[in-house]
């Protein structure tokens, strides 16, 4: 019985370990916009003006509301070229203010759990760019390069 419980625990643990992916961060200098994806094939090492800046963090690939793992929804505004990410469906629903729902970009924790760090959210009204990072030293409380600090969007694991 003990072996069966141990095996079950290991299988469940490995499921959650393997259901994580790296969230990649891209930047387009011409558009002055950031883009985030777990799908390397979207822009690879960079194309169409997008430059891979590297791993942003580690996120989940599946939802599990019982464990407070929720979708990080990806919206796109064709007019401004901005991608907006939020865990709050009520902000734009199926789409609003020119933003169209593209679907979940990934899944992250709503609450801080051991090993996670805050996923900070910023907005630059001059460029219309939304920026997300786990490193508050990049922009601090905002003001740098015109970015305003909007808060913590959720909790993620640092990239290795």
Distance of CA 125 to the CA centre of its chain: 20
- pLDDT tens profile 33-58: 999 999 999 999 989 999 999 999 99
Q: Which pLDDT score, from 0 to 100, does residue 1 have?
A: 53
The whole-number average pLDDT for the span 87-103 is: 92
Separation CA 159–CA 22 (nearest Å): 7
Average of per-residue pLDDT values in the chain = 88
E strand or H helix that includes residue 1: none
Q: Which pLDDT score, from 0 to 100, does residue 9 have?
A: 38
- pLDDT tens profile 12-31: 343 444 499 999 999 999 99
* Better pLDDT: 141 or 128: 128
State the DSSP code for 159. Answer: P
How far is residue 1 from each of residues 7, 14, 79, 126, measured CA to CA in Å? 10, 20, 60, 62
Buried b (16+ CB within 10 A) or exposed e, 123-153: bbeebbbbbbbbeeeebeeeeeeebebeeeb
Q: Which pLDDT score, from 0 to 100, does residue 143 have?
A: 77
Separation CA 102–CA 31 (nearest Å): 20
* Better pLDDT: 6 or 146: 146
* Better pLDDT: 48 or 6: 48
């Amino acid at each position: 019985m003990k072996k069966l419980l141990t095996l079950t625990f290991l299988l469940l643990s490995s499921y959650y370990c393997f259901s994580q992916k790296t969230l990649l961060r891209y930047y387009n200098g011409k558009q002055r916009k950031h883009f985030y994806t777990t799908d390397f094939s979207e822009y690879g090492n960079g194309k169409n003006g997008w430059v891979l800046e590297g791993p942003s963090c580690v996120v989940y690939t599946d939802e599990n509301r019982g464990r407070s793992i929720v979708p990080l929804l990806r919206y796109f505004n064709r007019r401004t070229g901005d991608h907006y990410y939020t865990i709050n469906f009520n902000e734009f629903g199926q789409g609003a203010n020119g933003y169209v729902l593209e679907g979940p970009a990934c899944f992250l924790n709503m609450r801080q759990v051991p090993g996670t760090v805050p996923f900070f959210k910023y907005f630059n009204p001059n460029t219309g760019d939304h920026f997300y990072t786990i490193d508050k030293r990049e922009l601090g409380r905002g003001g740098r390069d015109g970015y305003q600090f909007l808060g913590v969007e959720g909790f993620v694991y640092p990239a290795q």
